[in-house]
Amino acid sequence: MSEIRKNRLTGDWVIIAPERAKRGGNLGRPPAPELVPEHRPDCPFCAGNEVGEDERFRLADASGQWRLRSVVNKFSVLSETGEPSSLGDRATNEIRINGVGRHEVIVETPRHDLTMARMSSEQMLTILEAYRNRFGEFYADPRVRHVIVFKNHGADAGASQQHPHSQIVGLPTVPGQVRDRLHRAQRFLGQNGRCLACVLMDEEIQSGPRVVAENADFVAFIPHAALSPYHLWIFPKAHRACFSEHPAETFPALAEILRTVLAKMDALLHNPAFNLVIRSLGPRESGAPHFHWYISVIARINKAAGFELGTGMFVNPSSPEACAQALREAVIDSE
């Protein structure tokens, strides 16, 4: 029988319906990395093709060859020029502001074929260091009120380029979804005296069946009311509200656990499309007692359809406990 579960962190209701998995599906996935060339002359992100780009950040090796670059997105959703002034029309009650902000693409590697799931922990750490640098830089812009770091891997996850890359966007306003979750977390803190995420994380660690990986500083688990199959969260065990303000000495542990869960997902699901999102407040709010930053990884092997759009409820055709067990048991190659 199906279950209807509530995601306490997000407020979403989810129908856990494993019987739905029998329907099958034909969602595509990215091509196997073995079939992808190491370099493409027509790829704008491959080494040697850096023409006409506005580069903002670079990490290089001993020979001077770049290992990672961040460039302004040529098709930015926002403009770096101007101020986020109000464009509201009192006559029509329309609420608008100028689309001003920042948008960069983080090119994770010179290699066209090296997926994040198959990188070493050292390479993963390089990416996290770039995230941290750009995150802090974006928040230093007084026009930016919220920053999101995300990765789309595969066309079903929204990627328009095959070359391994992430994106970072600095918005002039705080999105409604973020505001709703902040209000939920603030209410819980006021009523219970504890951070909601800390409570959920402690419960997952103590109960165990949905934990996928754990080390001294971080834990990865599938939430009780996961929105989709293999929807996974990575939480720092120490409470902090801001990703970029987390102690630098813990980032190797973050790189290790992120590599582990992505490699397990890759091995079990054969290079699935996925989205990765860092949910965090800014440096000025790093001490907020109600919010706990985390990373969300969503394998795109299930699509929302009319029911989800019409109700706001998700249907997950899998058991979170079974998915967590499958990931725990997945065998990955060592570095």
Flag whether 148 is in a domain: yes
What is the predicted pLDDT for the residue at 334?
63
Is the distance from CB of 118 to CB of 33 less than 8 angstroms?
Answer: yes
Alpha helix locations (H) across 70-175? 121-139
Contact 162, 36 (CB under 8 A): yes
Query: Is 91 within the bounds of a domain?
Result: no
- Give me the domain span that covers residue 212: 3-74+97-329
Q: Are 229 and 317 in contact (CB under 8 A)?
A: yes
Q: Kindly state the tokens that stand for 238.
A: 């120490």
d(CA 221, CA 215) in angstroms, rounded, equals 12
Percent of the chain at pLDDT > 90 equals 79
CATH number at residue 17: 3.30.428.10
CA dist 78 to 72, 75, 112, 136, 174, Å? Answer: 11, 9, 27, 18, 14
CA 221 to CA 233: how far, in whole Å? Answer: 6
**What is the average pLDDT value for the chain, to the nearest integer?**
92
Q: Which residues contact 237 (CB under 8 A, 6 or more apart)?
A: 201, 216, 217, 218, 219
| pLDDT at 28 > cutoff 50 | yes
pLDDT at position 27 over 70? no
Our CA angle for 13, 14, 18, nearest 5°, is 165
Is residue 89, in this structure, part of any structural domain at all?
no
Is residue 256's pLDDT more than 90?
Answer: yes
164 band by pLDDT with thresholds 50, 70 and 90: very high
- Report strand pairing: 3-6 vs 13-16: antiparallel
Strand-pairing partners, residue 60, are 66
Is residue 25 predicted with pLDDT exceeding 70?
A: no
**Whether pLDDT at 90 is above 70:** no
Contacts of 178 (CB under 8 A, 6+ apart): 146, 279
Query: How many other β-carbons are positioned within 10 Å of the β-carbon of residue 179?
Result: 12
**Domain assignment of residue 211, yes or no:** yes
What is the three-class DSSP state of 50? coil
Please state whether the predicted TM-score (pTM) of the whole model is above 0.85: yes
Q: 61 lies in a domain?
A: yes
pLDDT for 26 equals 46
Q: Which pLDDT tens digit goes with each residue over 195-234?
A: 999 999 999 999 999 999 999 999 999 999 999 999 999 9
Q: Rounded CA gap, 75 and 199, in Å?
A: 40
> Rounded to whole angstroms, how far apart are CA atoms 151 and 131?
11
Mark out the alpha helices in 140-250 (DSSP H runs). 176-192, 196-207
Helices (H) and strands (E) in the chain, counts: 6, 13
The pLDDT tens digits of the residues spanning 112-132 come to 999 999 999 999 999 999 999
Q: How many structural domains comprise the chain?
A: 1
CA 7 to chain centre: 18
Are the C-beta atoms of 159 and 31 separated by less than 8 Å? no
**How far apart are the C-alpha atoms of 259 and 240, rounded to whole Å?**
22
Q: Answer for the pair 137, 202: CB distance below 8 angstroms, yes or no.
A: no
**Residue 37, pLDDT score:** 92
Q: How many residues does the chain have?
A: 335
